[in-house]
């Protein structure tokens, strides 16, 4: 604005600018307020959906505990239809897979876990599902398939657990050297917190791997006697 203008001229310029641009200022203010209230409404709606999904998941847990298979499957379908993008749907699939394992339906459980691994909303839940799937495949003596599933996730707290279960797969295959390598990897200092170190050391001894690096012989639990 020109410093040589009189106060009246400056006032006239401001008035003219507002006349030309005032609508845009008003529109911006309205949009800003709408965005604020819209965000509050959205977060309120999200909270409501989360509470609804949580309630359905709690019912699903109760149905699984009571072995009400049809009811559990019905509730899972409801989560899939209305709350598929929430973690409760993923957790529900884990719960149903567990129920199928307990009912002696490993093939159904494997199918459920495979779908969860492929489409989990949460990376963490997907990692848990892969771990459970790997264990189940080992139980079903599908060792090569289990090893393909059990690729240790990078940067995950479950890395040591993955190595332990991979060791179990190799042990079941009679590949003791590979099993020892995986058990040793599971006992690395940065990962050891998520496993039972004494139990893994016992497994390592069983396959002839000796004490893991940094472990003294007195720390190694004896292997359980064969039945």
The verdict on residue 31 lying in a domain is: no
Question: For position 156, what pLDDT does the model report?
Answer: 80
Q: Per residue in 30-62, pLDDT tens?
A: 455 455 445 454 345 477 888 899 999 999 999
3-state secondary structure of 120: coil
The verdict on residue 15 lying in a domain is: no
- Rounded CA-CA distance 178/134 in Å is 17
Residues 113 and 184 in one domain: no
Give the structural domain span for 156.
152-210
Is residue 60 within 8 Å of 92, Cβ to Cβ? yes
Q: Per residue in 204-213, pLDDT tens?
A: 999 987 654 4
Residue 5 pLDDT level (bands cut at 50, 70, 90): low
3-state secondary structure of 82: helix
Question: For position 32, what pLDDT does the model report?
Answer: 54
Residue holding tokens 């604005």?
Answer: 1
Residues 56 and 140 in one domain: yes
Tell me the C-alpha to C-alpha distance, in Å, between residue 190 and each of 1, 157, 160, 166, 185: 64, 9, 9, 18, 10
Q: How many folded domains does the chain comprise?
A: 2
Residues 125 and 106 in one domain: yes
Weakest mean pLDDT among 17-21, 58-62, 108-112: 17-21
Question: For position 47, what pLDDT does the model report?
Answer: 78
Is residue 93 within 8 Å of 112, Cβ to Cβ? yes
Question: For position 191, what pLDDT does the model report?
Answer: 58
Overall size of the chain counted in residues:
227
Residues 130 and 165 in one domain: no
Question: For position 218, what pLDDT does the model report?
Answer: 31
- Rounded CA-CA distance 160/166 in Å is 10
Question: For position 15, what pLDDT does the model report?
Answer: 53
Please, where are the H alpha helices in 66-86?
69-82
Percent of the chain's residues with pLDDT above 90: 52
pLDDT of residue 4 exceeding 70, the answer is: no
Mean pLDDT of 186-194: 72
Q: Which two tokens stand for residue 52?
A: 């609804």
The verdict on residue 56 lying in a domain is: yes
Question: For position 73, what pLDDT does the model report?
Answer: 93
The verdict on residue 7 lying in a domain is: no
- Rounded CA-CA distance 204/16 in Å is 84
Question: For position 78, what pLDDT does the model report?
Answer: 94
Residues 59 and 100 in one domain: yes
Residues 164 and 138 in one domain: no
Question: For position 138, what pLDDT does the model report?
Answer: 95
Residues 174 and 140 in one domain: no
What global pTM score does this model have? Answer: 0.69
pLDDT of residue 140 exceeding 50, the answer is: yes
Residue holding tokens 């897979």?
Answer: 97
**List of E strands, 37-174:** none
Residues 132 and 163 in one domain: no
Weakest mean pLDDT among 21-35, 130-144, 155-169, 185-199: 21-35
- Rounded CA-CA distance 207/160 in Å is 18
Per-residue DSSP letter, 223: P
């Amino acid at each position: 604005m020109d410093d040589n203008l009189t106060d009246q001229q400056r006032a006239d310029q401001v008035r003219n600018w507002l006349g030309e641009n005032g609508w845009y200022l008003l529109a911006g203010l309205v949009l800003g307020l709408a965005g604020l209230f819209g965000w509050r409404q959205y977060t309120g709606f999200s909270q409501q959906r989360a509470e609804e999904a949580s309630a359905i998941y709690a019912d699903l847990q109760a149905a699984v505990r009571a072995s009400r298979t049809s009811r559990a499957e019905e509730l899972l379908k409801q989560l899939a239809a209305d709350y598929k993008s929430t973690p409760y749907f993923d957790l529900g699939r884990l719960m149903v897979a567990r129920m199928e394992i307990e009912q002696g339906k490993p093939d159904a459980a494997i199918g459920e876990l495979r779908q969860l691994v492929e489409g989990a909303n949460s990376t963490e839940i997907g990692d848990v599902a892969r771990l459970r799937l790997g264990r189940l495949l080992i139980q079903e003596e599908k060792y090569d398939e289990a090893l393909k599933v059990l690729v240790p996730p990078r940067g995950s707290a479950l890395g040591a657990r993955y190595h332990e279960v991979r060791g179990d797969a190799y042990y079941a295959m009679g590949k003791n050297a590979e099993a020892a390598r995986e058990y040793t990897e599971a006992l690395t200092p940065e990962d050891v917190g998520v496993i039972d170190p004494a139990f893994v050391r016992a497994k390592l001894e069983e396959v002839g791997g000796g004490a893991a690096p940094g472990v003294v012989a007195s720390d190694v639990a004896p292997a359980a006697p064969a039945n």
